[in-house]
Amino acid sequence: MSFYTVINTELSNMELIICALEELQNRGEIKVFDCNKNKETIEVNRDGDILNIVKERSGNYQVAGDARVAERFAQRLKQIYAYETIKENLPLDFEIATENEVAGEIRIMLKA
């Protein structure tokens, strides 16, 4: 028996969340996601597990779903969100030289 859980995050930019979900989809970690910009909700299918990302009143987003999957997915989403934020906000005189991931840790080498 599993329980439905809601995890509050500090993620607040929907465009970066969508970029992070696209990156997770490219890596094969999620199958598909459906974004409803009017209601500010995103439904994510992660190998049959359905998770919902919903904007709360404070302006941040919540991850809701099965307790077994929601916490791990929220942690991974935060990690990829930070990665996308770094890529989005790089100064013009820097570019990513190499990037690799080892045991869930993303390493980025910048080139000036």
Give the pLDDT score at 43: 92
CB-based contacts of 93: which residues, under 8 Å, 6+ apart? 112
Write out pLDDT tens, residues 6-29: 888 888 888 888 989 998 898 888
Give the pLDDT score at 2: 67
Read off the CATH number of the domain in which 95 is found. 3.30.310
Cα 41 to Cα 7: distance, rounded to the nearest angstrom: 14
Write out pLDDT tens, residues 46-68: 888 889 999 888 888 899 988 88
Give the pLDDT score at 40: 87
What are the φ/ψ torsions at residue 25 (nearest 5 degrees)?
Answer: -70, -40
Q: Give kind and range of the element (H or E) at residue 17.
A: helix 14-26
Burial of 98 (0-12, 13-18, 19+ CB in 10 A): exposed
How many residues does this entry show for the chain?
Answer: 112
Q: Are 56 and 44 in contact (CB under 8 A)?
A: no
Q: Give kind and range of the element (H or E) at residue 30.
A: none
CB-based contacts of 96: which residues, under 8 Å, 6+ apart? 87, 90, 108, 109, 110, 111
Write out pLDDT tens, residues 29-46: 888 999 888 888 999 988
- Structural domain total, the chain: 1
Which two tokens mark 45? 């299918």
What is the mean pLDDT of the segment spanning 75-94?
83
Q: Which domain holds residue 100?
A: 4-111
